[in-house]
Amino acid sequence: MFRFQELDYLFALAIVPVLIVLFIAVIYWRRKKIKQLGDERLVESQILGFIPGRATLKFILLTIGLVFTIVGLANLQAGDKIEKVQRKGVDVVIALDVSKSMLATDIQPNRLTRAQQLIMTLTDKMQNDRVALIVFAGRSYLQVPLTVDYAALKMMVQNVSTDMVPTQGTVIGDAVDMAVQSFSQTELKYKSLIVISDGEDHDEAALKKVQDAAEKGVVVHTVGIGSPQGTTLYDPETKSVKLDEQGAPVISKLNEEELRSLAAAGHGTYSLLQNTNDVANKLVSNLDGMEQKSLGSVVYTDYTSYFQYFILVGFLAFLAEWLIPGAKRKRNKAKDAKSKPVMVKKPTPPVAAASAVLIMILLSTTAMAQNNTNTLLQQGNKLYDQKRYDEATANYLQALKKDPNNATGLFNLGSALYQKKQYDSSRKLMAATADAIKDKGGKSAAHYNIGNTYMAQRKWEDAIASYKNTLRNNPQDADAKYNLSYAEEMLKKDKNDKKDKQKQDQQKQDKPQQDKDKKDKDKKEKQDQQKENDKDKKEQQDQQPQSQPSKLTEQQAEQMLNAVQQQEKKLQDKLKKEKGMRVKMDKDW
């Protein structure tokens, strides 16, 4: 099996037929001029140093040298060794707590950042396992389905924040349910769940759900983030320490007892995150110790490069063209100096020399420009991996100045600007990338990133359109499917929230009028009651002044008194039953 490693260089072969056409045109022009002087053979025999067919030979050598050099730069490779490797591993779901308590700084820089570092280290040490990512707080969301694409998972982990989940709290049980749904439902082994949290669980059903997951073959490991002493939380709304409903500072503490009990119920282990590398090694060791399943086979092909042979042939062709003389050298012979008429040599176009110069300039310029651009892009990629996005951006811009239509440079620059939260500029570059490349895979990636910029700005409708474009180019893109579903859900939620807000605003506008109507009604009822009282009083005055209250009125008064006492007794009994009952308050951290 043969292939070219650098296909772009083969486009330079398009200049070969152009040079051939130009050479033929010059030959015909030269012959036409010679015929105007007389017999073609006679005139050529009188041209000083002329060698028939020599210009054609030199041009052929130049063309051969050009073709072989270009093919050498493209690097022809042959696949001489094919190896089929069986992959075995387990399915691992990482559940990451993104509640606001993870912003506590009892471990530096904060709990969430340390958790991200742990996941990055863990994936670096994993090899064949499939891995998924769930983020949870008050609710859980699947960010990355089971995959062996560790690079995609790392990119998602880098973008994790506490704003990803609108409902706050720490509901571990919901994350366990989603993890169980993410695993295969037909297998009772090869499955592991890693919960990374501070353990401030606001869900009493978490232990029961972990036990249910263990019955389905899921091994649950927990990692504690934070310190048992805890620390206060920063409230961005008040720009001060977060307070509870009683006005006391909220102290977020690591609940090791909770996490240990979950790990024990899930037949796993509990680890306190102090040294990231040690915890990652412990988790990988536990995963490697599990029974593993076959995850399919991967075919590796070992290629051998043959560019050096083509470059050698090209060099020899150029060398031969340079060594072969274009004309006969003049000899000094005294005897024949006057025996032959000397004809003035007419200047002919230097076809071979001009072609050689043109070819060499083209090759050197193309190769140097291409190498310089690639070097800048590679340097930018290294800086990007180091999260030095400003310096990476500068390298990408320099590369694009040399090659403005370089799709890789456009795409990488757009990615760097996305990391700098310059979403509008990033989106424009991704759109230019989608227009510049014809490959559906590249178009799919560009549209996917455009959708991500809209997601970051909460422009759900535009994000939905971009993800649909992604799926048109790559219908199997699981990430695009998930993000499309998430954007549609958030769009629906925003519309419902907007309707609720409009309803509340309308109620606020109607309330003053309702209060006024009620006030007028109460005033009228009061006036009517006053008139009725005045009327009754007048009627009593018209009656005999010696009249006594009737016996029926005393009975009514006694019945009313008994009813009041009975109601008070019921109320006291109810308060006694409820006295000392603990009321659980909803938490938002």
Place of tokens 């696949």: 79
pLDDT grade, residue 21 (50/70/90)?
Answer: very high
Instruction: State whether the Cα torsion 410-414-416-422 is positive or negative.
Output: positive
Note the maximum CA span of the chain: 180
User: Taking residues 192-198, what's their average pLDDT?
Assistant: 93
Check residue 564 and give left, alpha or beta (phi > 0: left; psi -120 to 50: alpha).
alpha
Do residues 412 and 391 touch, judged by C-beta distance below 8 A?
Answer: no
pTM above 0.85?
Answer: no
The pLDDT mean for the chain works out to 78
Report pLDDT digits (tens) over 254-312. Answer: 888 889 999 999 999 999 998 999 999 999 998 888 877 765 544 445 668 889 999 99
Please classify residue 387 by burial: count the beta carbons closer than 10 Å to its beta carbon, then call 0-12 exposed, 13-18 middle and 19+ buried. Answer: exposed
| Predicted local distance difference test score (pLDDT) of residue 277 | 93
CA–CA separation, 216 and 176 (whole Å): 12
CA–CA separation, 400 and 411 (whole Å): 11
Q: Is the pLDDT of residue 586 over 90?
A: no
Report pLDDT digits (tens) over 448-481. Answer: 999 999 989 999 999 999 999 999 988 888 888 8
Give the three-state DSSP class for 83. strand
Q: Is the pLDDT of residue 134 over 90?
A: yes
Identify the residue with better confidence: 423 or 438: 423
**Which region among 106-110, 234-238, 252-256, 531-535 has the lowest average model confidence (pLDDT)?**
531-535
| Predicted local distance difference test score (pLDDT) of residue 61 | 92
Q: At what angle do helices 389-402 and 407-419 cross, to 10 degrees?
A: 160
| Predicted local distance difference test score (pLDDT) of residue 228 | 87
| Predicted local distance difference test score (pLDDT) of residue 544 | 44
Please classify residue 376 by burial: count the beta carbons closer than 10 Å to its beta carbon, then call 0-12 exposed, 13-18 middle and 19+ buried. Answer: buried
Per the document, the length of the chain is: 589
| Predicted local distance difference test score (pLDDT) of residue 494 | 85
DSSP string across 508-547? HHHHHHHHHHHHHHHHHHHHHHHHHHHHHHHHHHHS-TTP
CA–CA separation, 487 and 448 (whole Å): 13
Do residues 119 and 41 touch, judged by C-beta distance below 8 A?
Answer: no
Sequence-distant (6+) residues with CB within 8 A of 405 are: 436
Work out the number of other CB atoms within 10 angstroms of the CB of residue 408: 20
CA distances from 230 to 161, 243, 257 (A): 21, 15, 14
DSSP string across 394-450? HHHHHHHHH-TT-HHHHHHHHHHHHHTT-HHHHHHHHHHHHHH---HHHHHHHHHHH
Report pLDDT digits (tens) over 527-568. Answer: 777 777 666 666 555 554 443 444 445 666 566 666 656 765
Q: Is the pLDDT of residue 120 over 90?
A: yes
pLDDT grade, residue 15 (50/70/90)?
Answer: very high
Which domains, and CATH codes, for the chain?
Answer: 87-298 (3.40.50.410)
CA–CA separation, 345 and 220 (whole Å): 94
What is the helix, strand, coil percentage profile of the chain, to 5? 60, 15, 25
pLDDT grade, residue 230 (50/70/90)?
Answer: confident
CA–CA separation, 354 and 358 (whole Å): 6
577-580, Cβ contacts within 8 angstroms, sequence gap of 24 or more: none
Q: Which two tokens stand for residue 215?
A: 């019955």
Work out the number of other CB atoms within 10 angstroms of the CB of residue 57: 15
| Predicted local distance difference test score (pLDDT) of residue 569 | 61
Report pLDDT digits (tens) over 351-385. Answer: 333 344 444 444 444 445 455 778 888 888 888 88
Work out the number of other CB atoms within 10 angstroms of the CB of residue 482: 16
| Predicted local distance difference test score (pLDDT) of residue 546 | 44
| Predicted local distance difference test score (pLDDT) of residue 39 | 65
* Residues of the chain above pLDDT 90, percent: 24
Q: Is the pLDDT of residue 346 over 60?
A: no
Work out the number of other CB atoms within 10 angstroms of the CB of residue 509: 9
Identify the residue with better confidence: 408 or 552: 408
DSSP string across 320-352? HHHHS-SSPPP---STTTTTSPPPPPPP---HH
Dihedral of CA atoms 257, 263, 265, 268 in degrees, nearest 10, equals -150
Q: Is the pLDDT of residue 180 over 70?
A: yes
Q: Is the pLDDT of residue 335 over 50?
A: no
Q: Are strands 240-241 and 234-235 parallel, antiparallel or unpaired?
A: antiparallel
Report pLDDT digits (tens) over 150-166. Answer: 888 888 899 898 888 87
Sequence-distant (6+) residues with CB within 8 A of 151 are: none
Phi then psi for residue 368, to 5 deg, are -65, -45
279-288, Cβ contacts within 8 angstroms, sequence gap of 24 or more: 279/118, 279/223, 280/118, 280/121, 280/122, 280/124, 280/125, 281/125, 283/122, 283/194, 283/221, 283/223, 284/122, 284/125, 284/126, 286/192, 286/219, 286/221, 287/90, 287/92, 287/126, 287/129, 287/192
Q: Is the pLDDT of residue 240 over 70?
A: yes
Q: At what angle do helices 351-385 and 15-37 cross, to 10 degrees?
A: 160
Give the three-state DSSP class for 102. helix
| Predicted local distance difference test score (pLDDT) of residue 194 | 95
CA–CA separation, 452 and 457 (whole Å): 9
**Which region among 49-63, 110-124, 463-477 has the lowest average model confidence (pLDDT)?**
49-63
